[in-house]
Every structure is written in C-alpha cells, then in structure tokens.
Amino acid sequence: MSYQKNKIELEENGYSILSDLYSYNEISQILTCIKNAEQDGNSFMKTKDLFAIRQLIKNIPELSDLIFNKKLTELLTDLSESKYFLTKAIYFDKPSESNWFVAYHQDLSISVDRKVELENYSNWTFKKSQFGVQPPIEVLENTITIRIHLDKTDKNNGALKVIPKSHLNGIVRADSNDWNIENQFVCEVEKGGVMLMKPLTLHASNRTTNGKKRRVIHLEFNKQNLNEPLNWLEYWDVKANA
C-alpha cells in the first residue's frame, strides 16, 4: 500500500489522517502490554486528569514489535527516502472524566541527554529527570509526529483541533494574527488509525464531554543528528530493530 497521498497532505496541510493501521487485536495487545507493565518511576505520571508514560519504548521494550508493525514501517518508508529514527515515545490516557484541555500551541521542545550551551538551542527545561530544549527550527521542520489512536476519538473526547497550513509560518505566537481559528479542523480518528502531524502545526484539544476514553501513543521521528555534544534522549533506530 502506498502512503504518498498522506505524505503530500502532511507536507501541504501539516497533518493527515489514516484509518486501520492497526487491527483491533493489535490494539488489544498494545493495551494489555501497557497494563501489565510496572508503573513506577519518573517516567510514569498519574493524575485524575491524565495518565502518561514517557520514554515508552525504553520503559516497555516489548511494545516495540507491536507498535512497529508492517503498516507503520511501510508508512515511515513512504514518508521519506531518508532514514527516520524515533526520538520520542509517550503514552497518553485522557480518562473519561477528564476536564483537561490544551490551548492552541506548537510543539517546540525536544528531549535531549544533557544541558549544554549551544547556539540556537534555547528555552531549556528539566522535568521528570529529563532535559528539554527548543532546537534550531530546521530540526522541528524535519520532525514527523505519528499519533496512534487506541480509542475512537472525536470532538467529544478530545480529538485534536488543528489550523491547516500553520506549520508553513515557522514559529508563531499563539496570540498572534498569523492564523485564523475559523480555519480550524477537528481531526477525528478511528480506533486503530493514526494522525500524522508536523510539530509546528498549531493544535489544541478540548475537554472530554461524552464520558469516553482517549488513549494515544505519541511518537516523534527525525532524520538528523543534533549539534555535538548534544544527543537525542530517546534515539531508537527503526530499521536496525526491524
């Protein structure tokens, strides 16, 4: 199967939606694997509004074979002739009673292995024992986000809203006049489907109102190394582990 149409949509609009990249059986295996994992340490975050697992493949390595099935591997190959590798993997569980919402923003931070003063690396953070930094814009432009939906997601349980083509404007202030909320699109995704997104695409999500869960695996991929001596925190070579 060719994913060239999705590649074009991603490049032109900043997002694309695919259905049935995973079967219901594959989704069930993924959820069982997460449920059976030991859930302690800094990578696991639990509140009444959110359950998240950071560094997902590192903490639950047996998930890798389930996540990187034949369809996802083919999708990555179609998206670029260059060799993409995984740089971030997070599991999000937005519980059915969640009142948590996220305003429009761009994903400007990457996770790295240390803090060093480098030109064009700014806005350093240190959360949950890991460093985050805003890298040079070309790193963000080369990033592809793939969100695997473990539940059917629509406007009533926190589906992402995006501003199409907003990734073409570079880094913008969320309160600027560079985008128009009237152009927003709600990215409804079927269970087992995925959403592709560029991190510079302005996106937001509403509170859950229909009492249904929204569980997502958020993956970020890139194809370039960072300025020495900085390294990606979660570098995972997809092809080497295929």
Interacting residues of 40 by C-beta distance below 8 A, sequence separation 6+: none
- Tell me the CA end-to-end span of the chain in Å, nearest whole number: 19
For 167, the token pair is 């990734």
For 226, the token pair is 């960072």
Judged against a pLDDT cut of 60, whether residue 48 lies above it is answered with: no
Question: Among 92-101, 104-113, 201-210, which is the least confidently predicted range?
Answer: 92-101
Residue 13 pLDDT: 97
**CATH architecture classification, 4-222:** Sandwich (2.60)
Give the gyration radius of the chain's Cα atoms.
17
Domain boundaries of the chain, sorted by first residue? 4-222
pLDDT digits over 197-217, tens only?
A: 999 999 998 887 787 888 999
Confidence of residue 125 (pLDDT cuts 50, 70, 90): very high
Please indicate, yes or no, whether the overall pTM of this predicted structure exceeds 0.95: no
